[in-house]
Homo-oligomer: A and B are copies of this chain.
Amino acid sequence: MAKQKPTIPSGTRDFNSETVAKRRYIFETIRTVFEKYGYLPIETPTMENLSTLEGKYGEEGDKLLFRVLDSGDYLSDVKDEIGEKFDSKVSGLYKWLDELETLRKAEGENQIINQQIIALAFEKERLLELRNEIGELYSIYSLTKYISEKGLRYDLTVPFARYVVMHQNEITFPFRRYQMQPVWRADRPQKGRYREFWQCDADVIGSDSLILEMELVRIYDEVFLKLKLPVAIHLNNRKILSGIAEAMNATDKFTDITIAIDKFDKVGLQGVRQDLHNKGISESQMQVLEKFFSLTGTEMEKLEKANELMGNSEIGKAGVTELKNVLNYLSLSGTTSSEIKIDFTLARGLNYYTGAIIEVKPVTVQMGSLGGGGRYDNLTGMFGLDGVSGVGISFGADRMYDVLEELKLFPEESLKTTQVLFVCFDEKGIEYALPIAQQFRKENISTEIYPSAEKLKKQMKYANDKKIPFVIVIGDEEMKSGKLAFKNMNSGEQRLMSSDEIITELKK
């Protein structure tokens, strides 16, 4: 009987070896740059206590947490508890049913009542049945309220904050860490959106130096340069957004304004106008806002002009000074490959940014952001450690994968596979190949012997399917002469060579 083919949960993925290799290329590129800037890796558990996760991502986020059931120990308690609850609710009913039974005997002559009372006794049986069944259900599967205390990691930021607070006595601040691990969200799966996906975060916590903002911009720059993927790095500052709201005389509508302008990319100026109009922003207020959007000149000049537009907003001017410092540090430390853009429309959804806001977008392909970040002044406050400033960035590894794939930017070297396959026609050939294959491996050449003497065609198909670039054929002639038939699978060229010559060739 044919079983149904197994499947995997929706929104999750199997990765074959080619995909793993390509993903690894991305992760290792990011890792190398992170470490070059002094960021060191930490890893946190897949499961966190729900008390750590809940309430940190808003109401919507709580719904998207994957909750994990505890194991068996709680079950009997729950069963007892629910059983007792049921009993206390129906105990009165049982009692009256019993008394009615007594009554029935006394008042036996009243046939109608008698009938009703017998029926009631029957119902009592059904209630007892129900009580057992409910108890059983609870005992087997139980209520998640009682038995789910853990959830899957939803992002890397909250676990990082938890880590810092939990290990604060072992950590030297400023603490630079990176983390590259999967996260899980019970979102509706769709193209490019998965329920299991990877985040690559670098954060430094315990310093408010703007040197760090500069370095994070450089990390973005260097990673995408290495990946040969041209990007623009957009910069803004939460304080400038506040300054703009002050200049508009609309401080009370700060949230509405940031939400609206954050969509500038998608809906354009008209969309933002419409949105803000609906939120009660007047035409004259809108005109102030638009002045910020239409600033021209170098990035430094835009900041100068914004500073003037800001009038006497102290917070706005502080934001401008911060961004000017970051630009200054950037230019002192050398040129960047990526375009650096001051972008007053950049707000990002996250409410916890308090200073710099950073976002990276590809320039040669229409696709959303490849990463973003910013400064937050009180991330660890949620776990009771106040007054620690931090700044961080994140890479969207899955989207980066899609872009690199679309632009065919994965280098061939990233697709590691076996370098050479020994093809033999009989047991004798295999035994002849054994020491040679081992010699190859000693030289760090990834080597396989086709493990049984199948037909040539089958063995060659195997080499082709696995994209093995070289094949060595061992036949009687080869064993006699010691010269092996060395075939290049790409060019089709075949030469007779000694094993030493082949090693020299392969190590080129």
Contact = CB atoms under 8 A, between A and B. Distances in A.
Nearest to A63: B72
A13 B9 CA distance: 26
Interface string A104-142: 000100101100100110110011011000100100111
Interface in A300-325: none
16 contacts: A3-B384, A5-B166, A5-B383, A7-B49, A8-B52, A20-B40, A21-B41, A36-B444, A36-B447, A40-B417, A66-B69, A69-B69, A90-B126, A96-B123, A134-B134, A211-B452
A15 B36 contact: no
Given A418-B38, A451-B209, A92 B71 contact: no
Interface in A200-223: 204, 207-209, 211-212, 218, 222
Contacts of A21: 40-41
A2 B165 CA distance: 12
Given A126-B93, A134-B134, A212-B451, A45 B13 contact: yes
A8 B166 contact: yes
A484 interface: no
A493 interface: no
Interface of A: 2-9, 12-17, 20-21, 24, 35-38, 40-49, 51-52, 63-64, 66-72, 86, 89-90, 92-93, 96, 99-100, 103, 107, 110, 112-113, 116, 119-120, 122-123, 126-127, 129-130, 134, 137, 140-145, 148-150, 152, 162-163, 165-167, 170, 172, 174, 176-177, 182, 184, 186, 196, 204, 207-209, 211-212, 218, 222, 329, 332-334, 383-384, 416-418, 421, 430-431, 434-435, 437-439, 441, 444-449, 451-452, 461-462, 465-466
Given A5-B166, A86-B130, A332-B435, A41 B69 contact: no
Contacts of A17: 40-42, 177
A465 B169 CA distance: 12
B144 A69 contact: yes
Given A38-B448, A207-B451, A52 B6 contact: yes
B333 A435 contact: yes
Contact of A42 (B20, B431, B466): B20
B384 A430 contact: no
Contacts of A66: 47, 68-69, 71
Contact of A9 (B2, B15, B41, B48): B48
Main DSSP-derived SS at the A contact region: mixed
Nearest to A185: B71
Contact of A150 (B9, B148, B431): B9
Given A69-B68, A211-B449, A2 B384 contact: yes
Nearest to A43: B15
Contacts of A40: 17, 20-21, 416-418, 466
A502 B184 CA distance: 45
Contact of A172 (B2, B152, B329, B466): B466
A153 to B, nearest CB: 10
B140 A142 contact: no
Contacts of A334: 435, 438-439
A205 to B, nearest CB: 12
Contacts of A14: 42-45, 163, 166-167
A382 to B, nearest CB: 8
A123 B3 CA distance: 51
A225 B12 CA distance: 37
Contacts of A148: 69, 141
A104 to B, nearest CB: 10
A434 B166 CA distance: 33
A37 B441 contact: yes
A80 to B, nearest CB: 16
Contact of A116 (B12, B37, B99, B170): B99
Contacts of A41: 17, 20-21, 24
A276 to B, nearest CB: 33
A434 B107 CA distance: 101
B145 A137 contact: yes
Contacts of A51: 6
Given A96-B123, A144-B144, A16 B42 contact: yes
